[in-house]
Amino acid sequence: MGMTLTEAHGQPVPVRPDVERWATRPVRRRVLAVVHTVTSGQRLLDVVRLLEGDWRVQVFFTSAPDVFSGGVGDFLEGLGALVLPWGQAVQTVFDLAVAAGYGGLHELHAPVVVLPHGAGHNKFVPARGGEAVAARGIYGFSRQRLVRDGSVVPAAIVLAHRDERERLGAECPEALPVAEVVGDPCFDRVAASRPARALYRQALRTRAGQQLVLLCSTWGPGSLLGRCGRELIDRVVAELPPPEYRVAVLLHPHVWHTHSEWQVRSWFADLGRGGLAVVSHRADWVGALVAADFVVGDHGSVSLYGAMTGRPVLLASWPEADVDPRSPLAELASFVPRLHGAKPVRRQLARAAATYRADLHEQVAARISSEPGRFTRKMRALLYRGLRLRAPGAVPVTGPAGLPRVVEYEQPGSVAS
């Protein structure tokens, strides 16, 4: 898993007591990126990249325990990073740790900066058997996640919007002193990517004159894929003729890594060969969102980011009990149309386009981040303050997302060249 520099006893050189004897370059600060899931790992890359070019800092990675840890090993292997086993990471002192999940953080020997791994804090903590809805906290704000033995675990809790302070205070008031409003990297990347919309449409093989309908599913039984399943996707593909429409499906990484890449590819094989664009989880998803003419989603973050695109958002699934009614996602759900599987799809899309309210979508989008375009500057300032170092002069700028990719399916009976 990842790259390690080892000496005779197999311990990575940068964490050896005699590191000065073996390391090529001395470092002044050590940072640990705590990866719980592939999704959280992707968010952490937005953070640790802010340390690029600083020869004073060594970044380590570790895979933290999580029910959705599938795929993390491959993710870290692909980075070529220096990866410590969790058991070693919790026994090593670091100058700073960054995480976008919560499991095991109290075990670390480092001040921890915690970020959301999606669009803010919209959902309740998943219910356990027999648990009342009223007993569930907001994921990321829940006291049971943030406090251990009477003390707040994170040294800093990153918020995307200043209004989130009020919701955090209602859930866990003792955490307010460590809350810091920094912004949202995906918000900034969506905004930076909108001028390249034509390139993303081309990458998804959307022809001139075609309208791209993007079906977005988060994970779990309440998601579009979980509730509506194959029936809805079949119907959308069948009712939207290819000369006028291009249909694509974008799935949360947890779907791919829980069921396996092979299985997801297999489930969509006939649809993929029949013209459905299955967006690969191995490339940035932002371009697919920006390319869409219609976003059909659920209670996942992609639906909320869809409010930024200037295109209609529809909801095919909405597990109301799982979403905080005070959240921007709930506000979006209060006015966007539902896509009903029993009604003609084209007629529903046409009505969504005709009744689209740009002002309402923009109002929701403004609730995602109160620091538009400022995530890199504010997040880097927070990191260097935690590291007790002067930050380098140049500030990284958020650029457009990379091109999305479509899963390739060979036609039955074809011979690979």
| Per-residue pLDDT tens over the stretch 62-81 | 999 999 999 999 999 999 99
pLDDT tens for residues 209-264?
Answer: 999 999 999 999 999 999 998 899 999 999 999 999 999 999 999 999 999 999 99
Phi, psi of 75 (to 5 degrees): -60, -50
Domain pair 25-186+371-387 / 193-367, same fold:
yes
Q: How far apart are the first and last CA of the chain?
A: 32
Classify 25-186+371-387 by CATH class: alpha beta
Q: Within 10 Å of residue 331's Cβ, how many Cβ atoms?
A: 18
Instruction: Output the pLDDT for position 416.
Output: 45
Q: Check: CB of residue 180 under 8 Å from CB of residue 379.
A: no
Instruction: Determine whether 6 is exposed, middle or buried from the number of CB atoms within 10 Å of its CB (0-12, 13-18, 19+).
Output: exposed
Q: Check: CB of residue 105 under 8 Å from CB of residue 114.
A: yes
What sign results for the dihedral spanned by CA atoms 268, 204, 308, 171? positive
Q: Would you mind telling me the total number of residues written for the chain in this entry? A: 417
pLDDT tens for residues 250-271?
Answer: 999 999 999 999 999 999 999 9
Evaluate whether the domain defined by 193-367 bears CATH number 3.40.50.720.
no
Instruction: Output the pLDDT for position 394.
Output: 84
Domain ranges of the chain: 25-186+371-387, 193-367
Residue 131 has pLDDT above 60, yes or no: no
